[in-house]
Amino acid sequence: MIRLSVNINKIATLRNARGGNVPNVIEAARRIEGFGAQGITVHPRPDERHIRYNDVRQLSKTVNTEFNIEGNPNQQFIDLVLQNKPTQVTLVPDSEDVLTSNAGWDTLKHADFLKEVIAEFKSHNIRTSIFIDPQQDMIEAAAKTETDRIELYTEAYAVNYHKDKKLAIKPYRECAELAKKLGLGINAGHDLSLENISFFAKEIPFLDEVSIGHALISEALYEGLESVIKQYLQKLK
């Protein structure tokens, strides 16, 4: 079964908008796990505009499913990951001023850097994943960094899903097949939703995990967290 990891950044955004501790991200994570999600994802940024570094420290002690920390591996981020030892770290090349992640790694250009960072995390028994565009040359270069997995950046799929879903899925299927051949695990995330997740899950072979935040939390405003999480789990079967 494809695992569902819920990104709770948007819950932290709502909390930070008002100050205080409502909604409580620790309680939200606990309930999300209770509703059946198999993982919790956070993406702390240097300005702490949503998930704060202290949230990560607290979550590392309370998350009972897989804990995935994603972000740009500057020294502050590396130190945070090594201090909290999540199940998985996902490396994302976002600059400090971007609103949300908007590109995968150039694994050719940054090969040496990625290999060094990945080796450090793996020496602490932390599974590694690289956020990557659906390009076969980037997949091939990613495999040489000795990462455990890749996370396919799925915004292009989501944007083009209504135009021609078969055409939109094609590069992702080809990249997934290549990644599997190269011994890489396959995650996916960004703009996946209840509307487009079923087709993606059905068409992508060997998919291990999806990380979903913005769409899932938005959908939960209408239908509730428990209902939405159970719908995702059903669609991922």
Q: What is the pLDDT of residues 6-24, one digit of tens each?
A: 999 999 999 999 999 999 9
Residue 177 belongs to domain with CATH number: 3.20.20.70
pTM of the full structure: 0.94
The two tokens of residue 178 are 């290549």
40 has pLDDT over 50: yes
> What percent of the chain shows pLDDT beyond 70?
97
pLDDT level of residue 101 (50, 70, 90 thresholds): low
| Sign (positive or negative) of CA dihedral 4, 116, 144, 98 | positive
Structure confidence by residue, pLDDT tens digits, 154-177: 999 999 999 999 999 999 999 999
> What percent of the chain shows pLDDT beyond 90?
93
Whether residue 207 contacts residue 188, with contact meaning beta carbons closer than 8 Å, is answered with yes
Whether residue 109 contacts residue 144, with contact meaning beta carbons closer than 8 Å, is answered with no
pLDDT of residue 99: 46
pLDDT of residue 114: 97
* Cis geometry, peptide bond prior to residue 134 (ω within 30 degrees of 0): no
The Cα 92–Cα 151 span in angstroms is: 9
98 has pLDDT over 60: no
- The vertex-110 CA angle with 42 and 190, nearest 5°, equals 35
pLDDT, greater one: 46 or 55: 55
Count of alpha carbons within 13 Å of 218, Cβ hemisphere only? 9
41 has pLDDT over 60: yes
228 has pLDDT over 80: yes
Mean pLDDT of all residues in 184-193: 97
The Cα 62–Cα 12 span in angstroms is: 16
72 has pLDDT over 60: yes
Q: How many domains does the chain have?
A: 1
Domain residues for the domain of 8 are 3-235
With H, G, I as helix, E, B as strand and everything else as coil, classify residue 217. helix
The Cα 143–Cα 26 span in angstroms is: 35
221 has pLDDT over 50: yes
Whether residue 61 contacts residue 29, with contact meaning beta carbons closer than 8 Å, is answered with no
* Residues that are catalytic: 43, 70, 190
pLDDT of residue 1: 85
pLDDT of residue 73: 95
